[in-house]
Amino acid sequence: MTTTDAHPTRHNLHTYDVEPWPLANLEQILQAVDPVKPATQQRLRTLKAKSLSAGLLAPLSGEGRLAGRISLFCDLNIDAAVLHRQGNEKLAADYRSAASALEDRLLKLLQESHVQLDELYEASRPRSLDAWKVLRSFTRDCRQARDQLQPVPNERVITGILREHRGDSVRFSPESDGSFIDLPVEVLRRLNLSIGDPVVMVHELIASGVTVTRVRAGVCLPELDEFVEHEEDRLDIQARQPFASPEDRRKFLEATADEIPLRKRAAG
């Protein structure tokens, strides 16, 4: 596995081209079903049994040991859950079917790249270059699948970048125009987001006439393309540099195979 302690450079984007983070957990999907009710275990079990694709199970590690497991699902399950609430079962089934096919595709990508699923968990972020590459490929797969489906009714999707702190809020700059939206710091902290991060915001007009807002982490594809290309060039240059002996070269190659966790990014 090719590893890196770097992450995509931010702040210098001309065209954002932001897509939703391609994986979601049960709580995020349940919030889309009903943003008011708490995410109880019973509601989570019912949701998983009736309204979702199979998903994938990821072990979570902490301090060098297993810290539990989490079920992760293709992001299209959020759309399927909203459609189920709206009573549009046919379109919901189309989204679930697409999500299931995408999860099979992701499993193959992970196996081919020797990447662990928990590296793609939104709250922890990838720890290796290979994981960033899998994330990039899977994000594009999800976008292509979503483009082939009918859009979810009564939704307005806004993508952009978090720009600056404004007291107890963070200014969100949409890519579509020159306006801005101030988001509560606490919301972003729960999502492990910070200044410069791409964000996807969804406004949905529900049956009662009230507009609800969901905020998700995003993936900026041009930014990720630039990052991957830069890291591959850097590693290629390092691999070609002269070594005093074959033993020195062997030690260097072994060192680049060790995973180095990214610095944890906290909002604020």
Rounded to an integer, the average pLDDT of 177-187 is: 79
Specify the higher pLDDT residue, 257 or 56.
Answer: 56
Specify the higher pLDDT residue, 16 or 261.
Answer: 16
Residue 227's contacts (CB-CB under 8 Å, 6 or more residues apart) are 6, 7, 8, 9, 132
pTM surpassing 0.75? Answer: yes
Please write down the HEC assignment for all residues of 53-118: CCCEEEEEEECCEEEEEEEEEECHHHHHHHHHHHCCHHHHHHHHHHHHHHHHHHHHHHHHHCCCHH
Rounded to an integer, the average pLDDT of 228-253 is: 63
pLDDT digits (tens, 9 = 90+) for 210-220: 888 888 889 98
The answer, yes or no, to whether residue 97 has pLDDT greater than 80, is yes
The answer, yes or no, to whether residue 12 has pLDDT greater than 60, is no
Q: What's the pLDDT at 257? A: 52
The answer, yes or no, to whether residue 256 has pLDDT greater than 60, is no
- Domain chopping of the chain, boundaries: 21-255
The answer, yes or no, to whether residue 224 has pLDDT greater than 90, is no
Rounded to an integer, the average pLDDT of 80-85 is: 90
Return mean pLDDT, the chain.
78
The answer, yes or no, to whether residue 14 has pLDDT greater than 60, is no
Rounded to an integer, the average pLDDT of 99-112 is: 96
pLDDT digits (tens, 9 = 90+) for 18-28: 999 999 988 88
The answer, yes or no, to whether residue 236 has pLDDT greater than 60, is no
Q: What are the CA-CA distances from residue 127 to residues 65, 68, 169, 221 (Å)?
A: 16, 18, 29, 18
